[in-house]
Amino acid sequence: MLKRKPRNAAALTEPVIVPRDRHNVSRKQLSPNALKVLYRLRDQGYDAYLVGGCIRDALLGLKPKDFDVATSASPDDVRDAFRNCRLVGRRFRLAHILFGREVIEVATFRANHNPDTAVDDAGRILRDNVFGTIEDDAIRRDFTVNALYYDVSNFTVIDYVGGMDDLESRQIRLLGDPTLRYREDPVRALRAARFAAKLDFEIEPETAAPLAEAGALLADIPPARLFEEVLKLFQGGYAVASLAKLREYDLLKFLFPTVDARLRANEAIPTALCNRALANTDVRVLEEKPITPAFLYAALLWPDVQEHYEALLADDDMPPIPAMHAATDRVLDAQLRITALPKRFSAVVREIWTLQPRLERYKGRRATKAMESPRFRAGYDLLCLRAEAGEPLGELAKWWTDIQTGEEADRARAVREETAARQRAEGRRNTRRGGRRRSGGGNRKRNGDRSNPKPD
């Protein structure tokens, strides 16, 4: 149908212009705010196009997630054209145009493969702020399907790189020489796996061949950036598919090495736990229920925590609470060196883990105390997931379910009220002492736990 363009070519000149009646991007699919930005820039004499994921997704009949604009206007020009504009980014200067909660990202056409592009010894791009033409902009993008432009002035799709053909044959194909492009930015390896999962595409053989080698370069990527990629892989509604692609191309070990090792060794319970955690996340995303990376990390890494915890209890004869804290420290320290997890999440992960042995030694006042934890629900959810994954906790999970729903719930409430009354009677002195910070919020909980170490 469309004229075939050379593949993996570094520089192309004549684009394929796809007229409105040959593609299915309709303005109805596009954000009215993004269209406003396009019209305003065009009125001021600049070129401006929608590009990237939004056009790719619209062409595939998917709902675009966010809208990116590429323009000939410089960031300062863009700022002058919009009152609601903020310039962001150091490595790339971008303009964000704010419409309430919607942000339209506007980037000036950029050139790559340019003598001015600064790279480090490994070939990684350090600075990439050289402005260029739309054609330069197209070929410095990652994949052909991400380099399609939509021209609102005549409703055409502009294709410099064979992206329409690849959409049709469902291929993820890197632009340029794959080895070089991964070296410039190894995160492209994860992006290849992610788009293949999200779109149910194949990774074209030349793009796939250097993937494992490219994965090794992820060690040099800042953990905060890898965390962002983990969120995209596992919280976009296609986590199960992402895991499968990461495993297929042997990339999981660069993000979650211990999970990868357990899956590889076919460890039954950790495998079931991982699969269920990801499948549940996909369902929650689909149902538009809230999700948190804290729960995901807690579930994926629980087998590690459990292993260390049990070893410390058995071999080192450590009491349960310090053993749990030592185990959580060890697992989080190792993981956060690879993929960062902001403190607000890692604190929650710890609490979810710390709750597990408390939930396992249930009954009476200890149980109701656990229920007062702000993380009780997440802790309980992990307990249920562990039971479903095959840990012998079925009875226990049922007990916790009952206590929240049936007659047990009434009893629990009564004990809770009694506890609260007793605490009030004991006066505020203890509460205040317990609430004083010593060496961080985490310790406060530990001290609280130690005050009642024996099972009731």
Q: Is the Cβ of residue 189 or residue 396 nearer to ligand ATP in the bound state?
A: 189
Is the CB of residue 106 less than 8 Å from the CB of residue 97? yes
Residues that bind ligand ATP (CB under 6 A): 52-53, 65-66, 68, 141-142, 146-147, 185, 187-188, 232
The alpha helices in 287-405, defined as continuous H runs, are 293-314, 320-336, 343-360, 364-372, 376-388, 394-405
The alpha helices in 89-222, defined as continuous H runs, are 134-139, 163-168, 178-184, 187-199, 205-208, 211-216
Which residue, 404, 379, 396, 223, is CA-closest to 299? 379
CB-nearest residue to Mg ion:
53
Q: Is the Cβ of residue 79 or residue 113 nearer to ligand ATP in the bound state?
A: 113
| 116 counts as catalytic | no
Residue 270: CB minimum distance to ligand ATP, A: 28
> Which residues 6+ apart lie within 8 Å of 44 measured at CB?
73, 77, 81
401: tokens are 């379910």
Q: Is the Cβ of residue 181 or residue 375 nearer to ligand ATP in the bound state?
A: 181
One-character DSSP codes across 247-260: HHTT-GGGT-HHHH
CB-nearest residue to ligand ATP:
53
53 sits near Mg ion (criterion: CB under 5 A) = yes
Residue 141: CB minimum distance to ligand ATP, A: 4
**Separation between Cα atoms, residue 143 and residue 139, nearest integer Å:** 9
Sign of the dihedral through C-alpha 221, 225, 231, 233: negative
Is the CB of residue 105 less than 8 Å from the CB of residue 78? no
Q: Is the Cβ of residue 235 or residue 335 nearer to ligand ATP in the bound state?
A: 235
Burial class (CB in 10 A: 0-12, 13-18, 19+), 19: exposed
**CB under 5 to 8 A by kind: which of Mg ion, ligand ATP, none does 232 bind?**
ligand ATP
**CB under 5 to 8 A by kind: which of ligand ATP, Mg ion, none does 188 bind?**
ligand ATP
Residue 267: CB minimum distance to ligand ATP, A: 31
Element (H, E) at 127: strand 125-127
From 57, 128, 142, 185, the catalytic residue: 142
Which residue, 66, 18, 21, is CA-closest to 162? 18
Element (H, E) at 414: helix 407-426
Counting residues that bind Mg ion (by CB under 5 A) gives 2
**CB under 5 to 8 A by kind: which of Mg ion, ligand ATP, none does 260 bind?**
none
| 68 counts as catalytic | yes
From 57, 68, 137, 304, the catalytic residue: 68
Measured between alpha carbons, how far is residue 38 from residues 45, 61, 81, 267, 334 in Å? 11, 22, 11, 53, 46
**CB under 5 to 8 A by kind: which of ligand ATP, Mg ion, none does 7 bind?**
none
Q: Is the Cβ of residue 136 or residue 185 nearer to ligand ATP in the bound state?
A: 185
Rounded CA Rg of the chain: 26
Residue 51: CB minimum distance to ligand ATP, A: 6
From 47, 66, 77, 177, the catalytic residue: 66
Site for Mg ion in 54-93 (CB under 5 A): 66
**CB under 5 to 8 A by kind: which of ligand ATP, Mg ion, none does 270 bind?**
none
220: tokens are 């040099």
Is the CB of residue 302 less than 8 Å from the CB of residue 386? yes
| 142 counts as catalytic | yes
Q: Is the Cβ of residue 141 or residue 262 nearer to ligand ATP in the bound state?
A: 141
- Residue tagged 């009893």 (tokens): 411
Q: Is the Cβ of residue 188 or residue 358 nearer to Mg ion in the bound state?
A: 188
**CB under 5 to 8 A by kind: which of Mg ion, ligand ATP, none does 187 bind?**
ligand ATP
**CB under 5 to 8 A by kind: which of Mg ion, ligand ATP, none does 351 bind?**
none
Residue 228: CB minimum distance to Mg ion, A: 12
Residue 443: CB minimum distance to ligand ATP, A: 39
Residue 210: CB minimum distance to Mg ion, A: 24
> Which residues are annotated as catalytic?
66, 68, 142
Q: Which residues bind Mg ion (CB under 5 A)?
A: 53, 66
